[in-house]
Amino acid sequence: MRRLTAEQKERYEEQGYLVVEDLIDVGRYIAPLMGEYDARLDELARELLAEGKIGALHDDLPFGQRLTRVYAECGKVHAGYFDFSLPFSNVAADQPCHFGPAVFEMLRCPEVLDVVEDLIGPEIYSNPVQHVRLKPPEKDVPLNPETGLSQLGATYWHQDNGVVIADADDTEMLTVWIPLNDATVENGCLCVVPRNHRVGLLTHCTTPAMGSHLPDKFFDVARATPVPIRSGGALFMHRRTPHSSLSNSSEDVRCSLDLRYNPTGQPTGRPEFPGFVARSRRDPASELRDPAIWERLWMETRARMAAHPEAVQPFYRWKVGDPVCA
């Protein structure tokens, strides 16, 4: 059982983030997960080849190089094909996504939950604000024909509290950012602004090109700190800590997970999406332990959102044209 020291807890409370290295067993959790993504990439390549969108499977290449080549050749980033989430709107009945057992096991990783328990308590809910980020070298990513920007580049500054609806503002949502390969300054690790979480939720601005983001003028960007982490480590971050990612200027894909947890019973900020009890000291029988049930919950959500798009509640509070953003 991994427990935080008093010094680590104090550091998290003071800085708004904490890095814990050598937390996750790479062979037990990360290797099977990358195996699932490798299989998904093979499925994607075969679909694109059959549709005439690529000229070869490129299955002689390792995962990162193959993903980069497939994206570059078809001219499109297929991030949703690997993601364990859904779009916020216009969900298709066959929307690509991936809810594999290795993903579920990572969500329930005991070593991760031990640290989560030390930070938010023993009744832990897996918040459905979650993603996998497979970021190829930015120079090789196709451009958006409408904006001229990379389809998958550096992540703009934001607070995770800002990407949920207002009913979750008081939720003790904890972000757990897990690199699946070493996250370095070169390949686009995260940057955080220490101690800014105490300021509260800041106004985010929305533009067609950048989406919802936190302009530099609203916080002290000069204090931004890169956070490189080795595979097997994790970054635990307060919901109001401003953060972004650097561009991937390396020659390989940077792979990472964004997981979120909150105390059970608190709003998740994404009421359309299904979460689950990941740990309960009070009622262990309430924990979800079957990956097939988890996958079914998401498939049912996909079907419902596709069939009744008019009933989907908007996920973003920030509007284009806010006067403070001018």
Q: Express each pLDDT in 233-289 by its tens digit.
A: 999 999 999 999 999 999 999 999 999 999 999 999 999 999 999 999 999 999 999
Structure tokens at 5: 């020291």
Write the CATH number of the domain with boundaries 6-319: 2.60.120.620
| Per-residue model confidence (pLDDT) at position 284 | 98
Nearest in space to 77 (alpha carbons), one of 69, 89, 65: 69
In this predicted structure, what is the pLDDT of residue 86?
A: 96
| Position 137 confidence tier, pLDDT thresholds 50, 70, 90 | very high
Looking at residue 1, its pLDDT comes to 66
| The two structure tokens encoding residue 211 | 């989406």
Q: Could you identify the residue written with the tokens 């079914």?
A: 296
The arithmetic mean of pLDDT across residues 66-93, rounded, is 95
Residue 154, Cβ neighbours under 10 Å: how many?
16
Give residue 11's pLDDT band: very low, low, confident or very high (50, 70, 90): very high
Residue 103 or residue 313, greater confidence: 103
Whether residue 151 contacts residue 99, with contact meaning beta carbons closer than 8 Å, is answered with: no
**Cα–Cα distance between 301 and 295 in angstroms, integer?**
10
Alpha carbons 322 and 326: distance in angstroms, whole number:
7
pLDDT per position as a tens digit, 141-177: 888 877 777 778 778 999 999 989 999 999 999 999 9
Average pLDDT estimate for 121-149: 90
The per-residue pLDDT for 54 is 97
Measured CA distances, 291 to 107, 158, 204 (Å):
10, 31, 35
Contact status, residue 181 vs residue 196, Cβ threshold 8 Å = no
Q: Kindly report, residue by residue over 197-246, the tens digit of the pLDDT.
A: 999 999 888 877 777 888 888 888 899 999 999 999 999 999 999 999 99
pLDDT > 90? residue 107: yes
pLDDT for position 260: 98
